[in-house]
Structure 1
Amino acid sequence: MHVFQNRHGGPVVVVFGSGGVVGSALQRQLAVAGYQATAACAILWAQPVQDISTQIDACLKRPALTQAQNKKLVVVWAAGAAGFGSSEQDTQKELAVFTAVLDQLQEHQLKLWPQTRLRFLLISSIGGLFEGITNIRPDSPISVRRPYGQLKQAQEQLIATQEGLSAGIIRLPSVYSYINVNKRMGLIQTMTRNALLRQITPIFGSPTTLRDYVWADDIGRTVVHLCGADTLSTQPYHLFSGRPASILYIHACLERCLGRSVHLSFHYEAHNALNITGHRVSYNGMWQPTDMTENITRIVDNALSQHI
């Protein structure tokens, strides 16, 4: 967890999950907008729920937050260790922590920040909520297939029931960013790294499956905008690129960028071969996804400069 303050004014921003792919991109874009981190607290997900809850409660009582009185405080939840393959036990633990954080925020707003306007932005998952669905829109009915989707649905329902909380839901499709071997890497980062190392990437799915991929820094810019926006949409924000890509298309982009062959091996698994696509909404120009080929070039250039 990191607390960010802007020397030029604006809301105080608290980011849970600041070390993840989306959280790291949000940190970069907050810096571009004039923010700097003034406090940090590590959340250890391997610990019991009560210990994690106690850690977070102590973080929320830091001076950087108690001094946010009479200002807007924005909490961005991009945290969690759960993923598509997580068990119900793992997702229930994460939901318990999430519930405890909401309770703490409500309590602290009454006792520590009574004059502070509190906003909560939840980073949610289109893939978890609409697995195997195409032509998804912000008003499409949710259809979950696994515990991870149940977790995201429960989180969204929880913030909708919080009295007096200005809340926004930001649903994301597949996210890609720069290569970081110390963090969870998605398909595009893994394919790029293996290509640079001249290794074969095993694909557990179909080469023609269509998914929508969005660049993490594009998401970061949009979340920064929502942190300072006067109002939030009552419907979830769907940050689709509107240009779904297959693995074969990503493969072709990589080969063009690198100027050499990129090797894949395919192992068909039906549950990984489902299309997940949707319609792009610009939200009055706020959401401007950048081109995949351009971003893959960025990934390669960054990896080469870092000797990854």
Structure 2
Amino acid sequence: MGRETALLAEVIGMAETLRRGRQVDFHMISSAGGLFESQTHCSAESRPRPLRPYGLGKLRQEQALARAEGLDRRYVYRPSSVYGATRSKRVGLVTALVTNALTGRTTRIFGNPNTLRDYVLSDDIGHYIAGKAAAPDEPPGERTFLLARGRSASVFEVIERVRERVERPLLLQFDPHPSNVRDMSFLPSALPRDWHATPLVAGISRIATMARSGIA
């Protein structure tokens, strides 16, 4: 995270240099998961309490952008537990369950069945950020946007929803010493008014369709 934070500081410096001759808005993706791990029913007034170096690094990055008062709009986006189609080998729970079910592989789960998370589709995040970048509607200043569904789901619920959508056996292996068991949830009132999140079932169906077609 130190390397990433240093690179962000360089980019902020470049943006401040450009600002001398034009308007410059800055958009940064942070992490609700890293900042609010183990906190439940988080509201707009909840304060970050990172428990791991990753979350602490994200908080320091947000603070660095907050100090860049020479920029115009400074937007920070805090997505919760993101899932979606990806070519990366590193995928989240939802995508791993879907793709492994379709290929007959075992999914190793590092939480327990009751662990609560707020799962949000990557497409929704991309569309929202693109809209803010293309047509900003707030005055200059700093804004933070929590991007979640406002409804948490347990690991067990996610497994069952995936099982219903792929109609294949799910081979599961739960870690006997889980390292990712802390609950996390957010209140709907903490979300932006112009934010629209895809329901979990619809998002899983989309991932399954893309996986079957070879996109995910």
Quote the residue 2:15 is aligned against.
105
Please list, as runs of the form range in 1=range in 2, the aligned pairs for 1:1-308 lying within 5 A after superposition.
91-110=1-20, 114=21, 116-165=22-71, 166-180=73-87, 182=88, 184-227=90-133, 228-231=135-138, 234-269=142-177, 271-281=179-189, 282-284=191-193, 286-306=194-214
Q: Compute the displacement of 1:179 (Å).
A: 4.1
Deviation at 1:248, TM superposition (A): 0.9
Q: RMSD of the alignment, in Å?
A: 1.8
Alpha-carbon deviations, 1:60-98, whole Å to 9, x = none? xxxxxxxxxxxxxxxxxxxxxxxxxxxxxxx11111111
Q: 1:287 to 1:268 in 2, by over 3 A?
A: farther
Cα distance 1:307–1:157, how it changes in 2: closer, same or farther (>3 A)?
A: closer
The one-letter code of the counterpart of 2:62 is: E
More contact order relative to length (CA 8 Å, sep ≥ 6): 2
Distance change in 2, residues 1:171/1:103 (3 Å):
same
**AA aligned opposite 2:56:** Q
Residue 261 of structure 1 deviates from its aligned partner by: 2.2
Shift of 1:221: 1.7
The one-letter code of the counterpart of 1:131 is E
- C-alpha deviation, 1:170, in angstroms: 1.0
Distance in 2, Cα, partners of 1:269 & 1:278: 26
Say whether the 8 Å CA contact 2:101–2:168 is kept in structure 1. no
CA distance in 1, matches of 2:182, 2:44: 20
- Whole-Å separation in 2 of the counterparts to 1:255 and 1:150: 36
Segments of structure 1 that go 5 or more residues without pairing to the other structure are 1-90
Larger Rg: 1
CA distance in 1 between counterparts of 2:28 and 2:212 reads 34
TM-score normalized with structure 2 length: 0.91
User: Which string of whole-angstrom CA distances, capped at 9 and with x for unpartnered residues, describes residues 202-229 of structure 1?
Assistant: 1112111000000111111211222212
Which secondary structure state, in structure 2, belongs to the residue aligned with residue 132 of structure 1?
A: coil
Q: Percent identity?
A: 33
Amino acid at match of 1:139: E
Secondary structure at the counterpart of residue 136 of structure 1: coil
TM-score by length of 1: 0.65
Structure 2 alignment gaps of length 5 or more: none
In 2, Cα distance between the equivalents of 1:307 and 1:136? 34
Matched residue type, 1:298? R
CA drift of 1:164 comes to: 2.2
* Change over 3 Å in CA distance of 1:187–1:120 after alignment to 2: same
- Distance of 2:179 and 2:173 partners within structure 1: 17
Number of residues of Structure 1 aligned to a counterpart in Structure 2? 212
The answer (yes or no) to whether the contact 1:179–1:193 under 8 Å persists in 2 is no
